[in-house]
Structure formats: C-alpha cells, structure tokens
Amino acid sequence: MVKRLFAICFIFLCTSVAWLILGATITARTSTSNDSLRGRVQSVWGVPQTQSAPTAAYSVPVASSEQVEENGKTRLVTRTALAPVAVPLSASDVHVKLDLDHRRKGLLWYSTYTVHFRGAYQFRNPDSKPHSMQLSLPFPAAQAIYDDLQFLVNGRPVKPVSNKDGASVTVDLKPGETVSLETGYRSQGLESWRYSFGQDVNAVQNFRLRMSTNFKEIDFPDNTLAPGSKRETPSGWDLEWSYKNLVSGYQIAMALPEKLQPGPLASQISFFAPVSLFFFFFLMFLITTLRGIELHPMNYFFLAGAFFGFHLLLAYLVDHIDIHMAFAAASAVSVFLVVTYLRLAVGTQFAIREAAAAQIVYLVLFSYAFFFKGFTGLAITIGAIVTLFVAMQMTGRIAWSEKFKTPGILPAPHGFQN
C-alpha cells in the first residue's frame, strides 16, 4: 500500500510539472502575441484617447529691457514681444457617445470603440480692448482618425487650421464680447476614453458632460471623477457630470469593459490543474480502498494523462474557436478518455457513476469557475469543504492502521528445523 501511494504521488508530481510548463508556455505565447499584435490593432483602431478642453488665447505686446555692450559702451535696449494671454472657459456642454466593438487578435480580445464627440463652448474677452483670439481644440491622440470634423463659431461653420496636435480658428472679439465654439468629430480608440480639463489643477465653470454607452459594464478608473447621475438604458447607460464651479486635477474617464481573454484564462486553468487532479486522485483512492478495488499506479498514470489532455487541447483550441466551445470540446474529450478507459480497467458502473462524476466536478466545474471573475476562489473553497466532509463521513469508521499494515511473515510449520 505504501509503495503504491509513493508511485501515485510521483505520477501526480510529474503531471504537475508538465502543467506548470504548459501554463508558462501559454503565458509566453500570450505575451508574445500581445507585443506583436497590439501595434497592429492600434494602427487600425487607434490608441487610448484623452480629449482635452479647448483653449483660447490672445497676444499682447510686452516690453522688456536689457543691457547691451556696443563699442565698449553699455546701453539699455528696450524690446517688444508678443506674449500669449490665456482666456478661461466660461461654459462647456459636451456630449460623448461610446460604442464598444471588441476585436480579437490571436489569444487576446481588445476593447476597441468608436466615439462620437460633440462640444459647445463659450469664451469671453476679459480685456477692455478688442483682440484677435485663437480658439484651439487639441486632438485626443495623434495616432487616430477624425471624421466629420466640425467647427462652428457663433453658429457659423468655419474651416479650421489643422495639424497633428489639433485644430484652431482665429476670431476677432470686442471688449467683453462672448464667442461660442461648437466642435465635433467621429473617431476610434482603444481600452479607455478620458476628458481632461487641462494640466495640473484647474478651475471649471458651468460644465456639463453627458455620456451614453452601448455597454452595461461601466468602470471608472482610479483618481477620476464619478458621474453625478446615471440612468440605465436598454443597451447601456446615460451618464452625466455637471459642475457649477469646480476646482480639480482629476479627469473624467471611462474604462471600456474587457472580454474574457482566452490566453490568460487557459493559462490560469493550467496552473490550477494540480488541485483538480489532487482531489480526483484522493477520491479515487478512497473509493477503491473502501470497496477493495484494485487500481494500479499505471491506471493512475493514464488517468493523469487524460486530465492533462484536457488542458493541452484547450490551450490550442482557443486560438481558433470561441473559448466556451473550446472548453466544452476539451471537457468532452477528457471525460470520454477516462470513462472508456476505466470501463475496461474496473467496470462500466464505476467508470460512469464514480469516476465520471468526480471528473466533472473537480476538472470541469472547478475549471469553469475561472469564467466567473471574483467567484473562483469561493467556488473552489466550497467544493473543497464539501469533499472533506464527504471523505470524513465515508472513512470515519475505517481502521487505517489495518489498511496500511504490512503483511507479516507466516510462522514456520511445526517441527521444521534447519
């Protein structure tokens, strides 16, 4: 019995090492795939976008004096240069529509989206003199496309001057005059969208941003502003940020929900596999011991191979088909291998009733718990406690010293002498 246990443990350890190698291989494939494919996704769909508030500025002459040495004499020279004067926003009304559209490349899904941006802004000339004011809208990302770019000044469409950093127009304002700027575009991005009030801490007046999404799983990154109100819609959410007078260095941001990642999920399941096999071997050992069924270590070797086949098949199926379909196919193949083998080694009843049921619980259901993020540990803990309870009830009356006793040497027949 003791030798059999050592053989089973050796098989378990060897299979665990194979799983660790498989998990590391999947992780490396996923990392390599991400490094090579992320750039391709960004070249087509763009990068994470951060839209900054538009700026306004006019220039005023500023005189400066400096000493200049000429012909051995020093004289004071006065020069005049134009210095920009920033004009704060007096009102902002922004509407953003985010449409999520996941894209798959290799072992990973990428959270790509299209954004429809519209903004209505107001600036006021604070000076007592007329000025030519430049209104600029920074682009959220240089590596992106902007379709249907619109600029309206006081309700009239104008053609802006554009470069890689943004677009701008110049308007003439009288003292105290207010100008309205309406702008908008359609673009594409990846993973997140942000709205920035500017660098460092900024004062924001009469601000309103409405955001609508076509997805339910909304997430606001750390150190960002939460919406003041939200309303669920049939396809997503309507969110609103509204401030009368705000001083903040935070941004408004939305992290696009991620889809279940085939590569990382297959890797996690592979690393967890020794736990599944341990429970399965443990239960098989108890049942065969209680019933007096002879199960040789070679039988355990083939059972471990059937378990390993599940993860190996899953690791390479997720490259080509949906993760749920790959999981179902790998599960069916592994259970089929175990049942058909134990039907020959032990019997049909044991193969279907005990072995298949245990494999479905400890391999299939335990592995499927990884599909439910946040509940994996709880599901496995409950399964372990239930298994412990059942094992304790089944073996409570067993005299283990008798089970593990080494058979003694029979006494010699009476009268036998050397």
Domain spans, the chain: 2-36+260-400, 46-59+78-255
Indicate the angle between helix axes 297-317 and 262-291, nearest 10 degrees: 160
Structure confidence by residue, pLDDT tens digits, 170-183: 998 898 889 999 99
Q: Is the pTM of this model over 0.85?
A: no
Instruction: Answer for the pair 62, 80: CB distance below 8 angstroms, yes or no.
Output: yes
Instruction: Answer for the pair 82, 55: CB distance below 8 angstroms, yes or no.
Output: no
Distance CA(143)–CA(157), nearest Å, equals: 26
pLDDT at position 403, please?
Answer: 66
Two tokens, residue 148: 């249907």
User: What proportions of the chain, in percent to the nearest 5, are helix, strand and coil?
Assistant: 40, 35, 25
End-to-end alpha-carbon separation of the chain, Å? 33
Instruction: Answer for the pair 196, 48: CB distance below 8 angstroms, yes or no.
Output: no
Q: Pairing mode, if any, of strands 161-162 and 202-213?
A: unpaired
Q: What is the second-level CATH architecture of the domain 46-59+78-255?
A: Sandwich (2.60)
Distance CA(294)–CA(288), nearest Å, equals: 7
pLDDT band at 104 (very low <50, low <70, confident <90, very high): confident
Q: 73-82, 144-153, 175-184 — which is least confidently predicted?
A: 73-82
Two tokens, residue 178: 């207010």
- The string of DSSP codes covering 259-300 is PPPHHHHHHHHHHHHHHHHHHHHHHHHHHHHHHT----HHHH
